[in-house]
Chains A and B, each alone.
Chain A
Amino acid sequence: MHQLKQYWVAEALEKDLGDPTQPESVMSFKSVMELDEREEFPEKDVEWLYNWNLHHYHIPVEYGGELKSYEEFVAFVRVLSRRDLTTSITFSTLFWSGLVWMAGTHEQKQKLAKFIKDKHGAMCLAYSERAHGSDLVGSDVQATKVPGGYLLNGEKWPINRATISGISVVLAKTDDSGGARSLSLFVVDKSEIDPAGYSNLPKIKTLGIRGSDMSGIRFDNCFVPEEMRLGQEGAGLELGLKGFHLTRTLCAAFSLGSADTALRTVLKFALGRKLYGKTVFDIPHPRTTLVEAFLDILVCDCVTIAGARSFHVAPEQSSVSSIFVKYFVPTAVEKVVQNLSVILGARFYLREGHDEGIFQKVVRDNAIISVFDGSTVVNLHALILQLRQMAKYRAKRNAATYEKLRSRLESRFSLEAPLPPCERAKFELFSRGCDDVLQGLEISLEHLYGLKTDASVDAEVLQKLITLTSTVLEELDAQDEFLASSGFEYGHDQSPESFELAKKYCTLHAAAACVHMWVYNRKILGGFFAKGEWLAICLNRLLMTFRPSSGIIPSIYIENVAQELLKLDRENKMFSIVPLQLAQAQSPEEKTHAASELQLQA
């Protein structure tokens, strides 16, 4: 088992599911491909996960469940997602129980825990409408007040698990005058309402996750009792947005699972296929592409783990911490998958061969993640609105706020630091200017300078890390200066330049997350991670878009990362800063790689 306890659940689940390349394993590539071809709902796999008690990890400990930390949560969702996004995304609608843990009454929480545990219950989130996707305030579904409750009228579409779920979490209009307080949330238990009051819409044909129950739900004068309302009347938008903070971060686990399978499948191909008398892996361009995919996954790892831990350490920053994860990780992984597809050539397009044609399924399934729970554009727009305040706050940091920040950084990034329980009631719609990760960059830079006397750190690598981290800081300062001297307007007509600024901020944030992760876990994670060469390459790659600098990274660094990639593959471990042991069909000794000589580029 891994030394970090928060990864034990993921490892145990991984072991019990078995090696997905073996047809007899649960959720094997063969079986998930067959289900996908038939566009069939993965009923047996979902039931297997309930029997494994995975649903307990969606229920907080205080309500009889096992949900302790979102870092642990992200790790096991990643394990599921590397096998099959259809099942993972289907099972993970249990995310939405988070709304009840956040705002439900004691009775509502107890009832939901019972529903999930005893009935193997699941829910769907019914926000979206045909005429209103991201515009929640524009919702047309009505909840009209009547004695004892409400009458629901209208249609929600397209909704994942709208048909095959016992509870629909419905966002509906309770006030015709409109505005931010015109919506309320209802946790509608279908078993407790008149079946004549609702109907489900047909399954929608989709490009990916084809077995999903992507459908809709329609209400016709459907009476729902008052006790099904979540929070106060008018709290719907506020809760809805805070619920997104949670799920946006968790979506990254879908992407990371996809990325692992995409890389593993292509690496296997590259090691096995011979061209011009050598393996594809031994040809510089594909080798570099594979190495860069691995490095991009490591960056996404740092961003995701920091975001998941942030819920426990800095829940007040949920509005921005979730954006950094949700914007950065799915878009980065989409690019990783696209880059890897080039190595497969025409084979990336085949629905057979190379682990049952799983790669093309990853391409199709993965493409929806960046749209979930607030698209890339929605997230960037929300960040644009907060950038000025973050720059202001950063300029006003002082000794007192700095010390608190230092302590939060350590709790957030040191993977050995125990996480306090997540106080969901402290989630906030805006961050009041706080963003610990970038605002604490000087703390880690100071730490890097301090390592100059540490014999365990390679002096050359350290100097590069200092140079690159200083560059990140300079870019951040420049962006803050620019924001300070720019005008600002509200509304939906934000300029393309503003979106670019927000993207840049997210990129700088990712770089800072990697630096902190290294500073706080060098000794904990050791080995390849501690050496820091990967970090230097990652920082250089992240800065490349606005600070192109060639020649700073020696080719030996790249080669050492290539060797680590091969080692993880050989030992059947997750491509991650926390390389979990994956399910083994055979011992590592039985696996042999095509010999891959060190090819140093002069």
Chain B
Amino acid sequence: MQLQNSSSKPSEDLSKNHLQDDNMIVENSPAEAIQTWLVTKLSKQLSLNAKTIDVREPLTRYGLDSIDAVTLVGDLEDWLGCELPSTLLWDYPTIEKSAEYLVKEFDVSAAVSPVASSNVKDAGSDKTEKVEASSKSSGWGGLWNRISGS
């Protein structure tokens, strides 16, 4: 992990898919939206040029090892707002196959619809219950989404 400044921008601007906001992606199909999300994520977190990522190649080809792949499922869960098998990217090891599987088996509409809500669907709301010694970090809302690219 390079501890970079958050202001550093992804080096690649995806020409094909315009990312208006993390959760506002205009795509031809849900599967393509998921593919775009995965390509963007990988290019950012493996320091790759997005144009060089082939959705039909195994993810391991790009240096994503087995434990990284499990972690990436966590990011996918946050974005799609549903619980996924932790071994999803082991069992569907290309971007194309995993996107196809997700569209077929899960309701991904909330995240990939043209007018996406900025709130990721979750077990609850974004509001953290206040206790007497409430944490300063509580209730970040969409801050995480804005800075983590998910």
Contacts and interface: CB of A to CB of B under 8 A. Distances in A.
Interface string A459-470: 000000000001
Interface in A464-510: 470, 473-474, 476-477, 480-481, 484-492, 494-495, 497-498
Given A428-B86, A430-B73, A433-B74, A487 B68 contact: no
Contact of B45 (A382, A481, A489): A489
Contacts of B136: 474, 477, 481
Interface string B133-150: 111111110011001100
Given A477-B137, A484-B143, A491-B63, A446 B132 contact: yes
A445 interface: yes
Contacts of A38: none
Interface string B102-129: 0000000000000000000011111111
Given A180-B66, A386-B71, A429-B86, A399 B124 contact: yes
A432 B83 contact: yes
A398 B65 contact: no
A579 interface: no
B128 to A, nearest CB: 5
Contacts of A474: 136
A395 B46 contact: no
A490 B43 CA distance: 11
Contacts of A179: 58, 60, 66, 90, 93
B69 interface: yes
A388 interface: yes
Given A430-B70, A486-B6, A498 B1 contact: yes
Interface string B19-50: 00000000000000000000000000111000
Contacts of A494: 1
Nearest to B78: A392
B13 interface: no
Given A180-B69, A384-B1, A396 B133 contact: no
A535 to B, nearest CB: 17
Contacts of A446: 131-133
Contact of B71 (A385, A470, A484, A497): A385
Contact of B46 (A391, A402, A489): A489
B147 to A, nearest CB: 6
B15 interface: no
Contacts of B78: 389, 392
Given A382-B67, A491-B68, A481 B124 contact: no
Contacts of B90: 179-181, 237-238
Interface string A414-453: 0000000000000011101100000000110110010000
A489 B1 CA distance: 5
Contacts of A401: 123-124
Nearest to B146: A484
A495 B1 contact: yes
B52 interface: no
B96 interface: no
B112 to A, nearest CB: 20
A397 B131 CA distance: 11
Interface string A173-208: 000001111000000000000000000000000000
A394 interface: yes
A368 interface: no
A133 B124 CA distance: 42
A178 B61 CA distance: 11
Given A392-B144, A395-B143, A489-B47, 20 more contacts: A137-B65, A178-B60, A180-B69, A237-B66, A238-B90, A385-B71, A389-B71, A392-B78, A395-B140, A397-B129, A398-B123, A430-B74, A442-B133, A442-B135, A473-B133, A477-B137, A484-B147, A487-B1, A489-B1, A491-B65
Nearest 9 CB-CB pairings of A with B: A487-B4, A398-B124, A180-B66, A180-B90, A490-B68, A395-B140, A429-B86, A498-B1, A385-B71
